[in-house]
């Protein structure tokens, strides 16, 4: 198995080498068997995060959006300036943050986070809202323009790799589960989402994956795919390729696309 083929690294050492709160991302959706076949070459270049003997970690995330789904719409529209607002509980470490993910005009991802009470995972407390407001003001020159409400929870397993030479991370997510108070869905256990994070989007992991015939998928927002999987939004053409690979039992033809309501 991949996690057994790599040398462990501590969280402190991983962050010292590549915290990557500002980075360019590429996402790949590949069969688990393909990932396992790459274990020897990945092991030549990457170490794996290990905490208390554990190398797979469970994450639970609560996503928030406006009543007219601003975050979702901006992603589907390909807006250069877009953001996501979420709380995330790192279950294995029992730590929780409110996280704001922001995109710059050059497609650079900037993630800002603040400690948050895990018992309030589905709530935006006053400190969390103030943090989100200031994060948007500092990055875009404007604050939140509408109330944000809880829309979906997600849970999955993650492994995190870091390049020995530093400056690059690689995350591998599988067994994604999405739910709200009415519906739930889960991805195929045979597929994984790989996300490379590097300064220029052309890291070692990208080269390894491309040489193996794997290429970045156009749009693979776990948030957007989860919303579509539980029926809260249409399955837009923009992320249908990733949707079909991750949830083949729910895949529909492109003709099933439904338009989102237009807002001013």
Domain ranges in the chain are: 2-256
What pLDDT, on a 0 to 100 scale, did the predictor assign at position 20? 56
Handedness of CA 175, 186, 109, 133 (dihedral sign): negative
26-44: pLDDT as tens digits = 999 999 999 999 999 999 9
- Cβ atoms of residues 122 and 150 within 8 Å: yes
Q: What distance in Å separates the CA atoms of residue 212 and residue 203, rounded to the nearest whole number?
A: 15
Q: What is the pLDDT of residue 161?
A: 95
109-115 average pLDDT score: 90
Tell me which of 74 and 88 has the higher pLDDT: 88
Please count the CA atoms within 13 angstroms of the CA of 211 that sit on its side-chain side.
11
Residues 6 or more apart whose Cβ sits within 8 Å of residue 211:
none
Please report the sign of the dihedral spanned by the C-alpha atoms of residue 245, residue 246, residue 250, residue 255: negative
**Fold designation for 2-256:** Hypothetical Protein Pfu-838710-001 (2.40.320)
Contact 96, 62 (CB under 8 A): no
Tell me how far apart the alpha carbons of residues 86 and 252 are, in angstroms, rounded to a whole number. 28
| pLDDT surpassing 90 at residue 256 | no
Cβ atoms within 10 Å, residue 54:
12
Per-residue model confidence (pLDDT) at position 187: 96
Read off the pLDDT band of 259 (50, 70, 90).
very low
pLDDT of residue 23: 63
**Percent share of the chain, pLDDT over 70:** 92
Reply yes or no on whether the pLDDT at 263 is more than 80: no
Q: How does residue 125 score in pLDDT terms, banded at 50, 70 and 90?
A: very high
Q: What is the pLDDT of residue 41?
A: 94
With a threshold of 0.85, does the pTM exceed it? yes
Q: Is the dihedral of CA 33, 37, 41, 44 positive or negative?
A: positive
Three-state SS at 114: strand
Mean pLDDT across 228-232: 93
Task: Average the pLDDT over 15-25 and give the result.
Answer: 72
pLDDT at 197: 87
pLDDT above 50 for 258: no
Band of pLDDT at residue 234, cut at 50, 70 and 90: confident
Provide the pLDDT confidence category of residue 105 given band limits of 50, 70 and 90. low
Q: Does the pLDDT at position 253 exceed 50?
A: no
Taking all residues of the chain, what is their mean pLDDT, rounded to a whole number? 88
Please state the rounded mean pLDDT for residues 206-230: 91
pLDDT value at residue 77: 86
Q: For the residues 117-123, what does the mean pLDDT come to? A: 96
């Amino acid at each position: 198995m991949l996690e057994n083929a790599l040398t462990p690294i501590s969280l402190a050492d991983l962050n010292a080498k590549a915290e990557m709160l500002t980075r360019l991302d590429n996402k790949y959706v590949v069969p688990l068997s393909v990932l396992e076949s790459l274990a020897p070459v990945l092991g030549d270049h990457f170490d794996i995060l290990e905490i208390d003997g554990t190398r797979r970690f469970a994450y639970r995330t609560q996503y928030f959006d406006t009543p007219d789904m601003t975050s979702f719409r901006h992603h589907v529209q390909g807006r250069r300036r877009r953001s996501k607002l979420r709380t995330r509980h790192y279950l294995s470490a029992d730590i929780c943050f409110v996280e704001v993910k922001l995109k710059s005009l050059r497609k650079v991802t900037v993630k800002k986070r603040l400690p948050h009470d895990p018992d309030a995972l589905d709530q935006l407390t006053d400190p969390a809202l103030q943090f989100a407001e200031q994060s948007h003001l500092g990055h875009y020159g404007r604050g939140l323009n509408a109330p944000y409400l809880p829309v979906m929870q997600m849970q999955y397993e993650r492994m995190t790799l870091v390049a020995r030479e530093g400056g690059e991370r690689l995350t591998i997510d599988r067994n994604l589960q999405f739910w709200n108070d009415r519906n739930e869905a889960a991805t195929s256990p045979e597929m994984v989402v790989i996300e490379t994070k590097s300064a220029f989007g052309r890291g070692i992991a990208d080269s390894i994956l491309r040489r193996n015939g794997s290429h970045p998928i156009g749009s693979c927002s776990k948030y957007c795919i989860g919303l579509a999987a539980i029926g809260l939004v249409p399955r837009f053409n923009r992320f249908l390729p990733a949707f079909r690979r991750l949830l083949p039992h729910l895949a529909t033809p492109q003709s099933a696309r439904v338009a989102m309501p237009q807002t001013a």
